[in-house]
Amino acid sequence: MSHGDLHDEVLPPGVPEVTLAPLQPRLRRPPYPIVAVFIVLVIGTWVPLVFFARARVSPSGDPRVQFMQDMGTQPRLNEQRESDIFADGREMRPKIVGTVARGQAELDDGYYRGYTMAAGADGKSKAQFVQGFPQPVKVDQALLERGRGRFNIYCAPCHGVDGYGRGAVAIRAEEIGNPLNVMSLHDPAVRARPEGHLYNTVNVGIRTMPGYGGQIREARDRWAVVAYVRALQLSQDVPTKLVSPDVIKAGEPAETAK
């Protein structure tokens, strides 16, 4: 067929006379239900992430989910129970003699306990209470103010703010017929005790008086209480040598002062 015959050929309707370039095939648009289902599935994958985020900020009494157990799940030992693991049959393990918790060595016995250990005449070690205040303690106005605060909180309820043993607790105990017999801090026996003895009393207690070492945790605060007790005792029985002559003369009767 010649070239002229091609131009004379009648083409079907809709067919272009000349095709300039090949056309790329086009995919048909997917149906709407399939598109809708795909979008729903994609959004559905976000739901677990929402629950994870909420779980991280919400408190719960249930144990946490732990995919890798490792040592997270194991038998638990309770106090005052029996156990076949240990030879003595106890779950509670006794303290190892000589061990000290980290940061609680407290090597200075005089400062932390109020006494030191020294060999006696029989060669055995005996406790000797510290006389005066140890080197780390500086007795000044700030220490006395701190001691007064601790004293009024923990000591005054029984001993009274003046130290004579007539605090609110002691008075109430007498009213209900169960006297505590709180000792006066101005008693000669108490005044004669060394400062280390008073510190030890504050720390671990004495006779029916409980120790307040758990409440007054800092050693410096315990020494502050001791210092304030000495100040109370001094206020009620000041030695004459510590009083100026002018004060003594001002306190004498008029006929004596002439």
- pLDDT at res. 117: 85
- pLDDT at res. 153: 94
Q: Residue 146 — very low, low, confident or very high, per pLDDT cuts 50/70/90?
A: very high
Domains in the chain, please, with CATH? 141-242 (1.10.760.10)
User: CA-to-CA distance for 190 and 237, rounded, in angstroms?
Assistant: 13
Mean pLDDT of 229-235: 92
- pLDDT at res. 30: 86
Q: Is the pLDDT of residue 179 over 50?
A: yes
Q: Residue 258 — very low, low, confident or very high, per pLDDT cuts 50/70/90?
A: very low
Tokens coding 112? 């932390």
- pLDDT at res. 257: 40
% of the chain with per-residue pLDDT over 90 = 38
Q: DSSP 3-state assignment of 157?
A: helix
- pLDDT at res. 256: 44
Query: What single string gives the DSSP state of each residue in 112-151?
Result: HTSEEEEE-TTS-EEEEEPSS--TT---SHHHHHHHHHHI
User: For 73-129, what is each residue's pLDDT tens digit?
Assistant: 777 788 888 888 889 988 888 888 888 878 777 888 889 999 988 877 777 888 889
How far from 252 is each of 10, 112, 182, 237, 258, CA to CA, in Å? 149, 45, 34, 17, 10
